[in-house]
Chain A
Amino acid sequence: MGKTLFDKIWDAHIVKHIPDGPDVLYIDRHLIHEVTSPQAFSALRRKGLGVFRPDRTFATCDHNVPTLDQDKPIADEASRKAVEQLAANTAANGITYFPLGDPGNGIVHVVGPEQGIVLCGQTVVCGDSHTATHGAFGNIAFGIGTSEVEMVLATQCLLQSKPRQARITVDGTLAADVTPKDVILHVISRLGTDGCTGCFVEYAGEVFRNMSMEGRMTVCNMSIEMGAKGGMVAPDRTTFEYIRGRRFAPEGEKFQECMALWSSLKTDADAVFDKEYHFDASEIRPMVTYGTNPGMGVPVDGVIPDSAVGCDASTFSKALAYMGFHKGEPMAGKKVDYVFVGSCTNGRIEDFRAFARAVAGRRKADDVVVWLVPGSREVASRIESEGIGDALRAAGFQIRQPGCSACLAMNADKIPEGKYAVSTSNRNFEGRQGYGARTILAGPLVAAEAAVTGRIPSSVPAL
């Protein structure tokens, strides 16, 4: 029987197998940030341990950072201390760190690929569930807890049981008004928020082959939102061209050697998956969510259904009550108070290009607060160099500074209680964007319509 791409990478990283237990898995890249690493460093200190392979760990601060006035000290004391702690821990252990204001700073999952830290065929972990993003490059990438961060720092290894495997194939051609975010929201709405729990997913088919790296990252990023341990796309020319020339990527002959190796990273034709799902690209429409988990999604011109996959009746009713919505109501036309464009899901240059193109000469609606938050310094500088910043400012928008921002509202960017926010982020959980905040997840085109009209649109302009 053939091997899957996942099998090939997993097998190549097994240090040893524990009978009736997990594998000891070697970790190639470890990304850290200020929220889930401090207790791991403290534990190492307590045990008198150092960092085993500091050249395989890279750090950035993102969750706690303000998105305005980043040149000034962080006003919130606890946030400032968390960021200072990361600076101290990385300095003491010889770990590369991109502090606030550094050209390499930004959201950990935007920075990793952008700096050429994350390559292909690797094991990549981070104390953050959206580590799944890096599967876009054909990696086994998954989120871990702080105890596991400590293990990787101390030994560059983790104990992991091999998950089951699923393949999600989307064939056909996407309509011009459909973005990668819509593809993954469509898939999750069909499979449910726990549809792939215990599985690692491979995304296959024409749609992903034709997708940019930014798009593949958006899709893989949200694998966790259907419970998957991670999601991956087999690397190809698109992947190699993205990596070529980036700061930490191999160069010259070394890069050629890597490409030759990476080209073999494919699932064998006779490999068997535990689960197979097929979707038709032509059925995918621009999507929005109406509930409190990412599986509760419908097309923008759809109505709120009677039930959702993986959600019992009382949980479903509780979600609608929280959102202030009712079964059978259309989503289009609903009032929007806030729009947030950013996050590790949709905070890349492509997302801001799409948003700006969709705004196309129109102005920000007066009664909507719009937060445009680039995923990294590099995204921010491209927004300016491509003229997107000027165009959007002329249309009444403000471009903020990079960070996780309103995705999880650890900084000051909180959606007030009861307000509706169209967010290009990844989670519409109760209270995620602020106490009582009501999140409607969508892609950048829907966000643009909401920002200029103050309503959920029934359609979006084609890109």
Chain B
Amino acid sequence: MGALLGILHRMGAHHYCPLVPAPPPRFVTERGCTLHGIMGEFDTAQAVYAAAEKVRDAGYRRWDVHTPFPIHGMEDAMGVKPTRLPILIALGAFTGVGGAYLMQWWMGAVDYPMVVQGKPYAAWEPWVPIMFELGVLCSAFSALLGMLGLNGLPRHHHPLFTSERFLRSSQDRFFVVIEAEDQNFNPQRVRSLLESSGATHVELVEDDSVEVTP
């Protein structure tokens, strides 16, 4: 059970599945709040791009960059791997196509065979449109739900919104946030990495959504 919970925590399941209890906090601030992560603020797109490359090379996994506009090439600077969503969509598609085939074969050729226009009971031709449509439907559902599952949306709140400075990420500032859940997270090292990358301001971000027991 503990091992399964560990895997679920590593996948971040506790963020979007209410059935998974959150892991005990690894770091707690002086006020007694759970530490969400450490945020570095940058003045220019160039600076945050260079910082992202440094954080990537330092081997962090649970971190993100927040910018007011898309920066081309940022996914390379961050070392973001291609999404696994296509695999989920393919599974959905093959389920839809295969399910439609089996359903129509069972209904038309096994359970209730009926002569229509003298065609064979198990003629595959009329099944194709339904196989196609169910394939499209199931891949669309698995694309949407898989996307929501993988990115953890929708959510009502995010710890970053507790930071006043972070609001400027939609105006004119660029942010790198390294989360405390990262296996390599060490507050001193993260702070010095961000500062040496050219951050103009570094601050702790608390997770105020977790109840603190004094």
Does A pair with B? no
A residues whose Cβ falls under 8 Å from a Cβ of B: none
